[in-house]
Amino acid sequence: MGEVALAEFVESVERLADRFRAMPQSRLLGPVPGHTSRAAAALELAQRLADWAQRVEEGPQAPARAILDAGVFAVGDQLAVAGHDLVTALVTPSPYQGGLDTGELLARAAAAVGAVDALCG
């Protein structure tokens, strides 16, 4: 996992978060395959990114913490925060990183961001 990969991930998360911040309510609430709305897809992605960050920081046995649904106009910010938290977790030494392939985790996270980007475009 290199700095370039991390920077590209942050850029893709920020780009997607900005798209959600700029979406009108009608698009945010519009359904997409597998989700009741684009906002729901973004919130689910934010939760996955947060779950991965927590796993890196606290290990797989840590009790899950849910990202609250703060409304459709907040999902862009929630997505950006979760993405940045994951990057911070990946670059900060943790005793739980020993069993993790952080490069693979970053690749999975990038793929998840790309999938939501394609789904909600």
Question: For position 1, what pLDDT does the model report?
Answer: 65
Burial class (CB in 10 A: 0-12, 13-18, 19+), 121: exposed
Task: Set out the domains of the chain in order of their start, with CATH numbers.
Answer: 3-120 (1.20.120)
Cα separations in angstroms, 57 against 46, 82, 96: 16, 13, 7
Fill in the DSSP letter of residue 95.
T
Q: Model pTM?
A: 0.95
pLDDT in tens, the chain (121 residues): 688 899 999 999 999 999 999 999 999 999 999 999 999 999 999 999 999 999 999 988 888 899 999 999 999 999 999 999 999 999 998 887 777 888 999 999 999 999 999 999 7
